[in-house]
Every structure is written in C-alpha cells, then in structure tokens.
Structure 1
Amino acid sequence: MTATDTGRATTLWQVQRWNADQTAWVQRHTGLIEPQAADFAQAGVHPYETSEILGNLVTNAGWTRLMNLLTNQGAPQPLDATHVRIGVGNGSTAEAYTDADLAAASGSTNRWFQPVGGAGSLGTRTLAFSATFGTSDGNFAWQEFGLDVTSGTAAAGNTVGALLFNRKAGIAQGTKASGQTWAATATLTFS
C-alpha cells in the first residue's frame, strides 16, 4: 500500500483567548454585548494567547454521514453553518470510533456546544468552522473538542446534536473564566 492508497481526515484546532479586560474594552467601543472573534480583530485587539492542537478521530457516525452525503443516500443534514456546532467539555476519556457524545458529564458547567458562525470556509481538501464562546459560555477546563451536526437549526446548548462528527480528547487548554471570550476554529483536512 502506498501513501496514495490511503485516506485520512485530521483537524487542526485553534483557540484564541481574550481576557475579561479585553472583552470589556471591545464591548464598550463597539456597543456589542457578546463580541465575536471578528469584532476583536476589527477593533485591533489581539488575543492574549493562541494555541493549536493537531488531531482528531472521526467517529463511525461521522464517516457514515460523509459516505451518505457522497453517495446521496437519504437526506442527512450537511456539514454547514446552519447545522454544525463546536463542542467543548471537561471530560478526559480518550476518543473512540464509537463516541456518540463528548465524555464530559451533563450540564453547562461541564460541556457547551456553540453554533459556528458564517458559512464555514471551504478550500482544497479543507473545511473550516469557527465559533466564539462568549463571556458566560464554556466556563470550565477545556479538555476535549468535537464537532456535532444537529437535525435542525443549530442552537447553543449542553447536549449533543443528532451526531458527533469527530472528537479530540486530552487537549489541556486551561480554564475559561467568566468574562473572557474564547474562539475555537476547527480546520478539517482530507488527504
């Protein structure tokens, strides 16, 4: 088997962080209650920290969804901004193909799914989604990521949607505190 005989999907996860003072400054200067990552950039406020984590595991349900979309099997929801959310949690259980949810315990003090903004960006063999977690969203230790696909219009919440597409555990991103704004971007690359 050669490298051209294999197919893989991986995700580059990026987290940008703005502290409470930066968030309050952007709120005052823009009049926005919950500024998004683009609002910080437009105001010239750079994140105090940015980190990147490479890797993920596409779940069995995720691969099935991709194959169904490729072969027009039924009418499953596409991976688009209307139906995709980025989920974060404080669970530490290693990822497995059979994962149907994040490992974090139930409740918004342990897990949060945030709808992605915009249409997602599509490039050659890549698909990127970004979500901004506002001052009261996802305030716990970030130990895992995942993308879920909802059956209806995506809304913020603490339960997984129709399927968990992928998951990455052991990310150790620190603890997001109330008043802070963090933005997560998932860039999927297929090769």
Structure 2
Amino acid sequence: MSDDVFAWHASCEIHKYFAETAAAMTAHLGHEPEGHEIAELVAAGLFAPDDIHVEDGNLLTTAGLGRLTALFEGAGGAVFNNAQAIIGVGSSSTAAVVGDTALGGNGSTTTAYYQGADASYPTQSGGTITVNSTFGTGNANFAWNEWCLGIATGTLTAGGTLASVGTSPLMFNHKVASLGTKSSGAIWTLQATCTIQ
C-alpha cells in the first residue's frame, strides 16, 4: 500500500437466535443470557446460531473522522472503550451519507435502538477494532435496515434516540443494508469490526 493512503474498512456479523433457541438458552441458564454467556454456550457446543448474516462495508461519517483525527493529535475527547462504546440498529432504508449524525430510524425504540457494548468489548489488535453487543428478547424488535457505531460519555442508557443514550453522543459510521427482522423473543448479537490501514 502507498505510504499516503488511509483505508477505513468496517463490517458486521449478526448471530441470530430465534425465540425457541433463546428460550432454551434461558431455561438452561435460569436467566436470559448475556453476550459472554452465549459465546460460552456456543463454544461448548450446547447451542448454535439459527442464522448468521454478514454485511460488508460501512461509511465513516464526518463526525467519526473528526473524532479519530482529534484523538490522534491528542486533542482529547471521549475514547472508544467499554464504558462509552455504542452500537445502534435502525429500521430506515434511506441511503447513508457522510454528514449523518444519527441512524435514519432515530426517534423511537420501535424504529431504532442504541445500547452499549458487551462486557470486555471493544478490543483492538493489529489495527482492527472489534465490538460486540447483544440485543435481548425485548429490544430492537423491528426490521434491521441499518447499523452504526457511536460513542458518548457518562452512563450509557439504551434507547431509541442517540441523544438519549449518553452525554455528547457521536455516531462514527453508518451502514444501510437489509439485515433481517428481529422479532420478540429472539436474541441477536451484532459484532462489528473496523480496520484502519
């Protein structure tokens, strides 16, 4: 690669556990599983996703690029750690543009849902950031037509508007694509990877 080329690449992988599987995992554990518990159950061979959807590509927003360069030059601001990392999904199929500041479905928990990352995420290795978030049986039950990563300070509170999730929230990137329709009773996990080269 040329010395003067900056490449941003993002993708996501969604593991879908439909209502019957989610109920069986819940019965096995005695409570609805969290992200790390699902991973342990799958690793042990006790359960497997009912479906896996992989979506490549994601648009780095103007605000996201601004935050990355500000952190690089030491200008400060929130950092992308477990206490401040956000994953959002929404129902809008309006094309993403670099000036986007929130999901197209932003405004209601029936059209968008933002929440924090699972425990121990995000991670970083070799220029690739990985972040995972588990959407439980009662959350984000609508057609997933878009996803994003974001950041905010303060205590993160899941909700249908980016502005309500935390203090000074910012959306890093945005991808519009049909990811499937999540229904009540299902558990879906979304793992996003972002690579800078």
- Moved beyond 2 Å, runs of 4+: 2-5, 40-44
Residue by residue over 1:54-99, the C-alpha shift from the partner in whole angstroms, topping out at 9 and shown as x without a partner, is 10111111011011111111x3110111111110000111111110
Q: Out of 91-100 and 114-123, give the one that drifted further.
A: 114-123
Q: Is the 8 A contact 2:85 2:122 kept in 1?
A: no
Counterpart code for 1:62: G
Alpha-carbon distance, 1:151 to partner? 2.4
SS state of the match for residue 85, structure 1?
strand
Alignment length, in residue pairs? Answer: 187
Structure 2 match to 1:126: 128
Q: 1:120 to 1:19 in 2, by over 3 A?
A: same
TM-score, normalised to structure 1, is 0.93
Residue by residue over 1:114-173, the C-alpha shift from the partner in whole angstroms, topping out at 9 and shown as x without a partner, is 21012311110100100000001110000000011112232211111511110001x211
Q: Is the 8 A contact 1:40 1:46 kept in 2?
A: no
In 1, the alpha carbon distance for the partners of 2:79 and 2:62 equals 16
Structure 2 match to 1:182: 188
Unaligned runs of 5+ in 2: 164-168
Counterpart code for 1:108: T
SS state of the match for residue 173, structure 1?
strand
Higher strand share: 2
In 1, the alpha carbon distance for the partners of 2:2 and 2:140 equals 39
Percent identity, aligned pairs only, is 31
Counterpart code for 2:192: A
Q: Give 1:27-176 correspondences, 5 Å limit.
A: 27-32=26-31, 34-43=32-41, 44-73=46-75, 75-117=76-118, 118-161=120-163, 162-169=169-176, 171-176=177-182
Unaligned runs of 5+ in 1: none
TM-score, normalised to structure 2, is 0.90
CA RMSD of aligned residues (A): 1.3
Q: 1:160 to 1:105 in 2, by over 3 A?
A: closer
Structure 2 match to 1:21: 20
In 2, the alpha carbon distance for the partners of 1:68 and 1:132 equals 29
Counterpart code for 2:63: A
Q: Is the 8 A contact 1:127 1:187 kept in 2?
A: yes
